[in-house]
Chain A
Amino acid sequence: MELMNDDLIVRTITRLMVPFLLLFGSYVLLHGHFGAGGGFQAGIIITSAIIFAAIAGNLQEVHSILTYRKLFVFGALGSIGIVILGILGIVTGGNFFQYSPLPLPFDTATIHAIAITCVEIGIGIAVMGMMFLIFLAIAGGTE
């Protein structure tokens, strides 16, 4: 796969953009529990930063580090995290995904914010794994 990995413009813009994209992705992720944003959008933004870096760098090298199998497991782990958080609600005596009975030394609103952020992180991990998997599948390569 011949991508323009030695092009000066692509490399410079990537070097400028990737940190901002990662920062913005983290902001969207942590903002999700009380405003526009959340795990899915943050996952997309962070994945776009990684895809950017992969296009500017060496795709074969990315392929050798992040195999299909690893990405699939990565995405599945995010989903497992979400299920575990949901079942924590049942274990602590509430309903599925009910956070208020979680034994944390905060008031209810803070517990909700923490738990929702954890769920958003889980969603973000799942989306990142699957989106990058889709990118690699489209970009082609070997398995």
Chain B
Amino acid sequence: MNGMFVHLPILIIMIPFAAAFIGPPIGFLFRGCIRRIVLIALSLNLICSILLALQVLSSGPFDYYLSGVAPPLGIALYADYLGAVISVLISGIALVAVSYSAGIIPELGERRTIFFYVLLLLAIGAMQGIVFTADIFTLFVLFEIQAISLYGLVAMRGDGKGLLAGYKYLLIGSAGSAMILIGIGFLYISTGTLNMHLMAELLPPVSGSYTVLAGLALLIAGLSTKIGLFPLHIWMPEAYAYGPSIFPVISTIALKVGVVAIIRVVYTIFGPSLAIQTIPLESTLALLGAVAIIICSILAIRQMDIRKMFAYSSGANIGCIMLGLGIATVPGIEGAILHMITHATAKAGLFLCADAFLIQAGIRYVHEFKGLSKAMPYTMAAFSIAAISMVGLPLTGGFMSKITIASAAIADGITYYAAILLFWTLLSAVYFYRILKNAYFQEGTLSSTIREAPVRVLIPIFIISIATILLGFFVESPMALIRPAAELLLGGGI
């Protein structure tokens, strides 16, 4: 391995952090310049992520030891296929989201915009760290950095509803963090190490003890609050509805990072054989996922506020990812990782369009969409493409990932989960059809002052839409990384 490539994992983590520290001094000195710093940092980050993905693809996963000290004494980063592909996803979506948002976000004002971007960069840096770390305590610390930044982002608008949503998120998230910390403590007591790979080697002899089982249960429960798995999703609707403009997009990738942490706990630390022996993984994770899919979809149909509706839809999609992970075969995990990518892309498109509707026309409820396709045709077209991918119709990314998970369920002999996925497609078609029907087939009562969004805003939205469609056609290029990732997770471990 040559030159700077070995340092890529730490550079990917440190670029957003360094930009977050440089941001305030320069942002206070020069007005409106903070967004340029964020754009430069995230572009560098995307370049580094892509280079790392190519590097991992050509010469396999590698370790990076901070301060040059190897585990068990030192802290290690582990750049594997899963980390590389999710890292590209994080930097890509974040870059598009920031290039969508304005230099001074109107609802925040100049001074709060600086804090908004600083918190955003801290959250992105922490996410990049979570996907690469091989040390479970570093995982916890980075989760705290990410979570505290996100609490601040939710409450950033400072009005009553935003503060309440942030406070709710803070309460649930802190309970989750405490559970994660106690779970890590239990695993540390049992094995005496914090490195994930060493822990995986030391766990089998003690895996029957209640300490280890309680540690696993606490870790899964704590991480479930971070990803908003069904009973713990209650912070999501309000945070998404009342957070500032591009917060939901950042939160969408934060959910995926939480899923990566669950994959690390279940498949890297415990390993598939141990996890299935000690806990009934198939029936637990997959059942939780299936329940989340059905209930969150029904809740989404009841919502009239589109941002709350998308929040419940995110809950259902997280359920779908957990269902894929619970199947615990190579196609199941491939489908889950692919669904993380397709869902993050489509959901980012939906939220960017929803924000454009809110800014241009003040629209946030389903019944207000009547006749909007004439006033904002381009934004509405991008919205429709993202919605089609969310429903899972062919020729979009969403179809590819859903069909992978469904066929994995059928191949594993649990056809009722495939039936649930089909039923879910119907349910999500119902709630997206309401919006599309209003926008395209109903005569509007909209005022004639509504204009199409400016080009600066349309370009990022179109980039996301094109990515959504391309994922449906060129699904093989992410699969080149996802396939070895799934095989490594199932063949690795113990």
Contacts and interface: CB of A to CB of B under 8 A. Distances in A.
A80 B18 contact: yes
A94 B68 contact: yes
Interface residues of A, number: 19
Interface in A84-116: 86-87, 89-90, 94-100
A14 interface: no
Contact of B67 (A69, A83, A95): A95
B14 A73 contact: no
Interface of B: 7, 10, 14, 17-18, 21-25, 28, 64-68
Contacts of B67: 89, 94-99
B18 A83 contact: yes
A99 B25 CA distance: 28
Contacts of A69: 28
14 contacts: A73-B24, A73-B28, A76-B23, A76-B24, A77-B25, A79-B21, A80-B22, A83-B18, A83-B21, A94-B68, A95-B65, A95-B68, A96-B10, A97-B67
A54 B287 CA distance: 58
B68 A76 contact: no
Closest 4 CB pairs of A and B: A98-B68, A79-B21, A96-B10, A95-B68
A83 B68 contact: no
A10 B155 CA distance: 38
Contacts of A80: 18, 21-22
Interface of A: 69, 72-73, 76-77, 79-80, 83, 86-87, 89-90, 94-100
Give the one of B10, B14, B21, B24 with max A CB within 10 A. B21
A40 to B, nearest CB: 14
Contacts of B14: 83, 86-87, 96
A39 B14 CA distance: 20
Given A76-B22, A83-B18, A89-B67, 11 more contacts: A73-B24, A80-B21, A83-B17, A87-B14, A95-B7, A95-B10, A95-B68, A96-B14, A96-B67, A97-B67, A98-B68
Nearest to A99: B67
Given A72-B28, A73-B28, A96 B18 contact: no
A73 B24 CA distance: 6
A72 B28 CA distance: 10
Nearest to B115: A72
Nearest to A95: B68
A76 B66 contact: no
A29 to B, nearest CB: 20
Contacts of A90: 7, 10
Contact of B25 (A73, A86, A87, A94): A73
Nearest to A115: B67
A69 B25 CA distance: 9
A17 B467 CA distance: 63
A62 B323 CA distance: 57
A95 B24 contact: no
Contacts of A97: 66-67
Q: Kindly name the residue among B22, B28, B68 whose own CB sees the greatest number of chain A CB atoms within 10 A.
A: B68
Contacts of B21: 76, 79-80, 83
Contacts of B17: 79, 83
A98 B64 CA distance: 12
A92 to B, nearest CB: 11
A46 to B, nearest CB: 21
Contacts of A73: 24-25, 28
A69 B26 CA distance: 11
A87 B23 CA distance: 18
Contacts of A77: 25
B24 A72 contact: yes
B10 A76 contact: no
B7 A96 contact: yes
B21 to A, nearest CB: 4
A122 to B, nearest CB: 10
Nearest to B6: A95
Nearest to B14: A83
Contacts of A89: 67-68
Contacts of A94: 67-68
A48 B94 CA distance: 39
A77 B24 CA distance: 10
Nearest to A82: B21
Given A69-B28, A72-B28, A87-B14, A96 B22 contact: no
B28 A95 contact: no
A37 B28 CA distance: 33
A95 B8 CA distance: 11
A90 B6 CA distance: 10
Nearest to A69: B28
A87 B66 CA distance: 11
B345 to A, nearest CB: 31
A99 B69 CA distance: 11
A99 B68 CA distance: 9
A90 B3 CA distance: 10
Contacts of B65: 95
B11 to A, nearest CB: 8
A83 B14 CA distance: 8
A133 B24 CA distance: 14
A98 B67 CA distance: 4
A75 B55 CA distance: 36
Nearest to B17: A83
Given A87-B14, A90-B7, A100 B25 contact: no
Given A83-B18, A90-B7, A95 B25 contact: no
Contacts of B66: 95-97
A83 B64 CA distance: 17
